[in-house]
A and B are shown apart, each in its own frame.
Chain A
Amino acid sequence: METSASFWSFLGNHINSFFQYTAIMNFTVGHVIMILIGLIFIYLAIKKEYEPLLLIPIGFGILIGNIPFWGAEHVLNGDPSNLQIGIYQSGSVMNYLYFGVRYGIYPPLIFLGIGAMTDFSALISNPKLILIGAAAQLGIFGAYAAAIALGFSPSEAGAIGIIGGADGPTAIFLSSKLAPELVGAIAISAYSYMALVPVIQPPIMRLLTTPQERLIRMKPPRVVSKLEKILFPIIGLLLTTFIVPAGLPLLGMLFFGNLLKESTVTKRLADTAKGPLIDIVTILIGVTVGASTQATTFLTTKSVGIFALGAFSFMVATFGGVMFVKVINLFLKEGNKINPLIGNAGVSAVPDSARVSQIVGLEYDKTNHLLMHAMGPNVAGVIGSAVAAGVLLSFLY
């Protein structure tokens, strides 16, 4: 009889103990909200096909990161209550994978792949398009000033401002250095707005341009020689990194990847960089950034501010690009003018913002294809945002 009672008590205690470890016993409203956000990301990726390669890993990462469990706050190695499950807990698998985000290892590897898949011909054939890529970086510095005004510290403001570059890897790289605690919110904000480029940019482009400007036809780009393509990454690296050495990890890998492609003698390496390597790193960066958005660290007023500033920075960046084209058109001869609808492509969301230029351009003239022209400022935006990240790092680190 006594043995039976102790057995039931033993069983009861263990079942109770087991339940204490389950997600059901540990969940909060915050976890539910974050799981819903993760599900929305997955829905947008599958149903609307908004940046599925990014939103699926991030969305699923949000689910992984927001499964509640006992002892999530015990993160130190050696702590007996550290179950090594969560992304912030030392020794967990997710923590090891998150190392690449925390120390800015993944972004340069992604830049290597981007370099290997980017064709700079449109930019080389019409070098003045490079300047649009610089003008669109206004979004970064506009958001930086706005973040300072909202009470963020200069380092945090710099990390938030880079969202305006519309470049996920650059945003992760810079925020991991300047404000590591905000990496998750900044990365999610950057990728969300990059996915929403087709929604954010067209109204601003229409608002800032006249019907005549939207119909401007640009000269077809000239044929670019192989030598020019080979020289571009070498000269580009030397010029940009001599001015902003802090951008070396990103710019170095970007131009290196491009040389692998353009030299045509390292096809295998270029294929690996733009194929399996970038795919692996995209999976790791997506899932770990998603998982880093644990409700306890993510659902704060700072995150709300970051999201608002992110949207603002995208708008300012689009404004900067379009207005810059309008201004330089004042100095260009008839026939050499640039269609201001490619100004939005100065942000580095490749190739989405260039695609937006093409779609908006076709609405006004079915035969005016702007895609090739828009690719110039678009790839210049990649260089511009990496240079801007280097500048912010030099000033604020």
Chain B
Amino acid sequence: MHINYTGDLTGPQPYASFLNDSLGDASGSVLPLGHDYPAEFQHMVHAHWRGFRTPPIYHRAGIYIAFCVLMTLNIFGNGLVIWIFSTSKSLRTPSNLLILNLAVFDLFMASNMPHYLINATLGYIAGGEMGCDIYALNGGISGMGASITNAFIAFDRYKTISNPIDGRLSYGQILMCIIFTWLWATPFSVLPLFQIWGRYLPEGFLTTCTFDYLTNTDENRLFVRTIFVWSYAIPMTVIIVSYYKLFTHVRTHEQMLAEQAKKMNVKSLSANQNNDSMSVELKIAKAALIIYMLFVLAWTPYSVVALIGCFGEQQLITPFVSMLPMLACKSVSCLDPWVYATSHPKYRLELERRLPWLGIREKQTGTGATGGQESVASVSGDTLAMSVQN
């Protein structure tokens, strides 16, 4: 099944721009990227990368350190989410299963990071072709899975908020969604794995792997185009449409409630006793924007690099530039637990209870004013027989 690309890879080096570089010329000691690759893995290096010099050590070190930090944050954040969400009864709702699923995908992405650290130390992909395939498969499944899970979370939120009485998705429906996210992530991770369509290649500093976006065949271009629509455009559309509809729904709903209050001559209409909190519309807009920006941050760099690689000026994609999208989507997998879970009041309460040393203080007045006050009413006995003497 293996397609022989060697002719392509060892041919002339059209982008060996650095050879004309004065600095490179003078010293004569500049070596092309990939020169230190073990001989048996040389065939994996795309000709494009040979046109660049070996990156300076501080670039490698910087990304190495960034990965260490990201790995720690990712495992800590997502591990905490999985632990708390799967063991707390108060968090057991259908919608929260999606957040759990997202954390699983994100943690899955983190499983790549130790592999990267080994690669970066060695200077090549540990495990050769198979290592490369495993690395890229992990990244593909977790990345595409996370992006479609984001879309489902947006849709579920729209359903829940637009019809709070009986609109939320049931456990069965949510489970279907979760199965769907895994199925969604499968085809474009597995097809390149078996080199049926597309293939996995080392990229950047040649210490990471992803699908090949550099080969200029029609087949490969179509692959890049398809994966762009599949893992970027479709989820993005779902997210934008869901949050937009959610926002407009909340706005009309607030207006409707204000009308009702007017009928009763009531001016004060609040979700809790403190009127100083932001208006609901503003809160929604803010939260939706953050989630949207997160998605953009995660996947736009990859899409841009892939599209340039396939259709534009390949020369723009230096090894360093091609490392950035990977950093972006890895760092988003660390931010996800923050954005989705930590903004969840119940999760914060649970964290405060279980891990007091984290220093999380869930404001009772802000989020649970009515709750606190009502619980007083229902906890303590409030009837008492009293004799009144006439």
Co-complex (A, B): no
